[in-house]
Structure 1
């Protein structure tokens, strides 16, 4: 029997689920086989329609420490918030129903809590598990490989903490142990697939003491069919990446951090996310013209501009991604975006004729290229685009 002496519950694990009959039991089993028992598991069913709701109730009857919550469909971060509100534990750990908790996680958590006198956050590590659609893992990659030692941070060391969690990619996920009071103060937004990152930015100014441990607690599964939320395209990635950057800047301001080195970390991430954004668009199953319209007309704005020291890197990231795409794909000659092919084709030629130069100027000045992508390379060739 769990908590026979009615002691304070130390940990609540919140597991959101929606239409996931296939992997839910495996996720639950990864929790229930842990060595420690001072925890509860709250499964939040987000209005499943495939019978998952019945499986949740079955599991709640099977394991006495499971609490089942059923709600109308509200999306994943609303499930987080509702699970946190219902939790009784001093700490919260969130585990998606298509992922797993690593062996020994709760034991390591209990050790860390006792050693460091209940820190506000215990920052941990995540493993990316590449698997087939039956959850057979064929490759594992440590997401936070630079986290190699245990480190405690007081409030006075806040700047160093911020720099560390930014540079080690710990800022980008939910795979940490948080005090429940802190989470109640900062409920998750329910707008973007990456709102867990925004949550981490928002809590950082309120953290009085925390610890980073080099223990891999979370097994995040990347499925071959890209069915997990992190691999999907929602259409609002550009605004999400901008919001990450804005939230990060606000966090730095609240923490009183003006160090250019730290600012450059988040600027670099926004630049890298531009490449991710473009590649994600190119992978989608819609017309080339629609893909190029988004890429050439909607990826440059004031926030993106703030993150690039010059236009050359922006242009190079765009054209490099499109070039890789065109190796296995074509643009019809009659397409209004055929200029994209000509722009890349001519730029890659070592020797350029006068006709080539004219094609470059036409491509840069094309009405469907409002940001004049490629202009910087023409200027290096001493070509007047006017």
Structure 2
């Protein structure tokens, strides 16, 4: 085994950013990599940039397909991968030079199927937040790793700060487990399947991945139906598959999603959103007794009570909610 890492980049209309992303990967100190860029039906010059780099570097491959969404693009990249390990990078972000070297070193040293790290979030105004840069290193077995991914209490359920043994994807591909219509929270669903199969994982809390928030990015775009409904769909899929002992943790994550929907700052949004917001508040009120009796965190319980009783305190609720550890929407900067 030569431990090659296949780095999959889904690309859609990112001609202004893709070259910088690729240069950050070409500069990696870990040289045993292949870069697979999947052009998901871009309408700008993205395809030209892909072809230019693929013709210049033997370890860069370009795939061009009709638009099918980020999940279908990632699946296409996974199917084309030849490495023993698979990683993901968004085409408008970038990685520091030692990121994949350290991820691989940790994976081999601790015999882990998944190796992941922290990241830094770069805002449009130049502010940088670190998640979390404590320098700690944690090795987990299957049970503990899956628990933390499901609960969202510690680790980021993203795909771009991890490398995975390629064998973990076999069942996911064979059984077509990923719903390709899901465009939001799809990373949690894929991570659930991968951590469920992984025997162990290792997390080092350093922050070499730069998650760049842009005004036109998926994380900062206006509210749409996928942002409102996909998280609930993902949690329903996981709920139907997950073991009973982990369902209370998943319930806590779902409640956080409802709080976020109930308290988001959408004063300027159109009227079609209002029914979803009312529905979320109604569900919070109906779930209040179950929430208070559940083992989820006291902060989430307080926020559930606050949202159910004082639903119009948008600004205060959103501000406090953003401090809840493991919030699934720490990217909201609208």
TM-score of the two chains, using structure 1 as the length reference: 0.69
**Which 5+ residue runs of structure 2 have no aligned equivalent?**
293-300, 319-334
Query: Which residue of the other structure, out of 139, 162, 173, is the alignment partner of 1:152?
Result: 139
Change in CA separation of 1:66 and 1:296 when aligned onto 2, cut-off 3 Å: same
Shift of 1:151: 2.1
Shift of 1:197: 0.6
Query: Which residue of the other structure, out of 189, 192, 203, is the alignment partner of 1:198?
Result: 189
d(CA) in 1 for partners of 2:157, 2:211: 15
d(CA) in 1 for partners of 2:317, 2:136: 38
Give the equivalent residue in structure 1 for 2:282.
Answer: 300
**Which 5+ residue runs of structure 1 have no aligned equivalent?**
1-6, 133-137, 326-386
Give the equivalent residue in structure 2 for 1:91.
Answer: 85
Structure whose CA Rg is larger: 1
* Aligned residue runs from structure 1 range 263-342, under 5 A: 263=248, 265-280=249-264, 282=266, 284-286=268-270, 289-297=271-279, 299-301=281-283, 305=287, 308-309=291-292, 312-316=305-309, 318-321=311-314
Change in CA separation of 1:324 and 1:271 when aligned onto 2, cut-off 3 Å: closer
Give the equivalent residue in structure 2 for 1:222.
Answer: 213
Is the 1:43–1:83 Cα contact (8 Å) retained in structure 2? yes
Q: Secondary structure at the match of 1:318?
A: coil
Is the 1:123–1:170 Cα contact (8 Å) retained in structure 2? no
d(CA) in 1 for partners of 2:52, 2:82: 22
TM-score of the two chains, using structure 2 as the length reference: 0.78
Q: Quick check: 293-302 or 94-103, which moved more?
A: 293-302
Is the 2:37–2:77 Cα contact (8 Å) retained in structure 1? yes
Q: Quick check: 123-132 or 306-315, which moved more?
A: 306-315
Give the equivalent residue in structure 1 for 2:245.
Answer: 257
Change in CA separation of 1:62 and 1:304 when aligned onto 2, cut-off 3 Å: farther
Give the equivalent residue in structure 1 for 2:163.
Answer: 177
Deviations 1:298-319 (CA, angstroms, capped at 9, x unpaired):
6534997376339844424632
Is the 1:124–1:214 Cα contact (8 Å) retained in structure 2? yes
Change in CA separation of 1:180 and 1:189 when aligned onto 2, cut-off 3 Å: farther
Give the equivalent residue in structure 1 for 2:31.
Answer: 37
Alignment root-mean-square deviation, CA: 2.9
Give the equivalent residue in structure 2 for 1:131.
Answer: 124
Give the equivalent residue in structure 1 for 2:61.
Answer: 67
Give the equivalent residue in structure 2 for 1:143.
Answer: 131
Is the 1:192–1:236 Cα contact (8 Å) retained in structure 2? yes
Q: Secondary structure at the match of 1:169?
A: coil
Q: Secondary structure at the match of 2:311?
A: helix
Is the 2:146–2:196 Cα contact (8 Å) retained in structure 1? no
d(CA) in 1 for partners of 2:267, 2:102: 40
Is the 1:124–1:216 Cα contact (8 Å) retained in structure 2? yes
Deviations 1:283-303 (CA, angstroms, capped at 9, x unpaired):
5542xx444344224653499
Q: Secondary structure at the match of 2:86?
A: strand
Change in CA separation of 1:299 and 1:104 when aligned onto 2, cut-off 3 Å: same
Task: Report how many aligned residue pairs link the two structures.
Answer: 299
Give the equivalent residue in structure 2 for 1:100.
Answer: 94
Change in CA separation of 1:318 and 1:202 when aligned onto 2, cut-off 3 Å: farther
d(CA) in 2 for partners of 1:20, 1:50: 8
Change in CA separation of 1:283 and 1:69 when aligned onto 2, cut-off 3 Å: farther
Is the 1:281–1:291 Cα contact (8 Å) retained in structure 2? no
Q: Quick check: 314-323 or 179-188, which moved more?
A: 314-323
Shift of 1:322: 7.3
Deviations 1:104-160 (CA, angstroms, capped at 9, x unpaired):
11221231233123x21112212111135xxxxx22112345x642122234xx1x3
Give the equivalent residue in structure 2 for 1:350.
Answer: none
* Aligned residue runs from structure 1 range 6-25, under 5 A: 8=2, 10-25=4-19
Is the 2:54–2:60 Cα contact (8 Å) retained in structure 1? yes
Change in CA separation of 1:303 and 1:55 when aligned onto 2, cut-off 3 Å: farther
Query: Which residue of the other structure, out of 227, 231, 236, is the alignment partner of 1:237?
Result: 227
